[in-house]
Amino acid sequence: MKTSTAGRRQRIAILGSTGSIGVSTLDVIARHPDRFEVFGLTSHQRVPELVEQCLRFSPRIAVLPDRERAREARRLLAERGSRTEVLEGAQALGQLAAEPEVDAVMAAIVGAAGLPACMAAAAAGKRLLLANKEALVVGGALFMRSVAEGGATLLPIDSEHSAIFQCLPEDRGAWGERIDHIVLTASGGPFRRRAPESLHAVTPAEAVAHPNWVMGRKISVDSATMMNKALEVIEARWLFDLAPEQVRVVIHPQSIVHSMVVCRDASVLAQLGTPDMRVPIAYGLSFPERIESGASRLDFLQLQGLTFEPVDERLFPGLGLAWQALAAPAGATAALNAANEVAVESFLSGTIRFTDIHTVNARTVERLAGRHGAVSTIDDLLDIDRRARAEAHSAVAALAPR
């Protein structure tokens, strides 16, 4: 159901408010108390942080999937006189996302776990700010159909996709005839200059230390393997309704050009800025207007140059899996995403090596290829997600202990 926000503040629900994107979203919101009010906040495990956010932003609702944690949050909030109601259980995320009083939902949960709540927001016709790329990688065509049928407004928060979106006209009907292809930029992460043979020894601490962005652990590892870019290729295919070959990737180590649209007439449109997620977040919140984001301005005279290089496939074998999965029957991208979530967790917990992440992903996609049934509902996709996780766990077990 759509509600008019004319003359009142937009009510925002932030799913995953204690994460990196969640915290940056609250930072932008806090700069505009006249425009936005926080309706709901959610966290997976971080009770003290969620409680502090509730005390500061006084949301109507807070959600913690776990019952014990929800109880703890209720106790802490009551002690401090807060009136925020704490809901528990994973379904409460979907309830909050579809709540009639909510105008905009920031989807900032990491992983496929965020998909059901995104689907709920889409079906309820919300303004859906999508940071949770895994949800779209898993949901694919069904996700986009739900957005269209629900009358939702899907706004990309991933910096590359926000850049592309900012380079395109507001009329989506004009996108197809305008775009020749798009170029997603990638920083190359911390290992751009490494010898491929040395990557097997990479530690979790090295992999999460990104040169240009401060982010959650999962996306940081994904940036180091460039699986993040693979997920973004799939995300772009759906967001902009492109053929897979219309999505290209180039390494741009400075992370200043956030991505580019190459038009039919060979003109190139790009969006530039300092690497700060508050810019795409502010744009998602205020679209089609623009508001202060808190990010520093780009100082062109301080730039040491903008450079571009091809992706070295020996260093980043995972990137190619994106096009491979897009060429396979629907469900392959869900399998790839699930495998990668398991592989990254296994790497972070010290069970497999950095280079094993790709082995697990490639094996899982290969083993599941063509073995699953047709995909006509989200439950079919969640089933593929479960089977791919089981396959990926066996691949992990076969690789460890090393």
Residues 155-194, one symbol each (x = binds ligand NAD by CB under 6 A, - = not), give ---x------------------------------------
Cβ proximity to ligand NAD: between 16 and 139 the closer is 16
- Alpha helix ranges (H) inside 16-114: 20-30, 47-57, 67-79, 91-98
Residues 104-143, one symbol each (x = binds Mg ion by CB under 5 A, - = not), give ----------------------------------------
Smallest distance from the beta carbon of 232 to Mg ion, in angstroms? 6
Q: Which of 99, 134, 341, 356 binds ligand NAD (CB under 6 A)?
A: 134
Cβ proximity to ligand NAD: between 174 and 214 the closer is 214
Smallest distance from the beta carbon of 71 to ligand NAD, in angstroms? 17
Q: Can you tell me the distance from the alpha carbon of 105 to that of 274, in angstroms, rounded to the nearest whole number?
A: 25
Residues touching ligand NAD, count (CB under 6 A): 27
In sequence order, what are the residues at sequence separation of 6 or more whose Cβ sits closer than 8 angstroms to the Cβ of residue 150?
122, 123, 124, 125, 126
Binding of residue 21 to ligand NAD (CB under 6 A): yes
SS3 letters across 197-209: HHHHHCCHHHHCC
Binding of residue 110 to ligand NAD (CB under 6 A): yes
196 binds, among ligand NAD, Mg ion, none (CB under 5 to 8 A by kind): none
Smallest distance from the beta carbon of 263 to ligand NAD, in angstroms? 25
Cβ proximity to ligand NAD: between 23 and 369 the closer is 23
Binding of residue 113 to ligand NAD (CB under 6 A): yes
Within 155-184, which residues bind Mg ion (CB under 5 A)?
A: 158-160
Q: Can you tell me the distance from the alpha carbon of 90 to that of 66, in angstroms, rounded to the nearest whole number?
A: 8
- Mapped onto helix, strand or coil, the DSSP state of residue 380 is helix
Q: Can you tell me the distance from the alpha carbon of 275 to that of 212, in angstroms, rounded to the nearest whole number?
A: 7
Within 222-281, which residues bind ligand NAD (CB under 6 A)?
A: 277
Structure tokens given for 262: 């190459």
Q: Can you tell me the distance from the alpha carbon of 167 to that of 239, in angstroms, rounded to the nearest whole number?
A: 14
Integer angstrom CA distances of residue 258 from 63, 162, 189, 271: 33, 8, 14, 6
Q: Can you tell me the distance from the alpha carbon of 288 to that of 291, in angstroms, rounded to the nearest whole number?
A: 10
Q: Which of 213, 246, 274, 348 binds ligand NAD (CB under 6 A)?
A: 213
In sequence order, what are the residues at sequence separation of 6 or more whose Cβ sits closer than 8 angstroms to the Cβ of residue 285?
10, 12, 25, 28, 29, 32, 35, 36, 104, 129, 291
C-alpha dihedral (134, 137, 140, 144), degrees to nearest 10: 50
Binding site residues, Mg ion, CB under 5 A? 158-160
Binding site residues, ligand NAD, CB under 6 A? 16-22, 43-46, 65, 108-110, 113, 131-134, 158, 213, 215-216, 218-219, 277
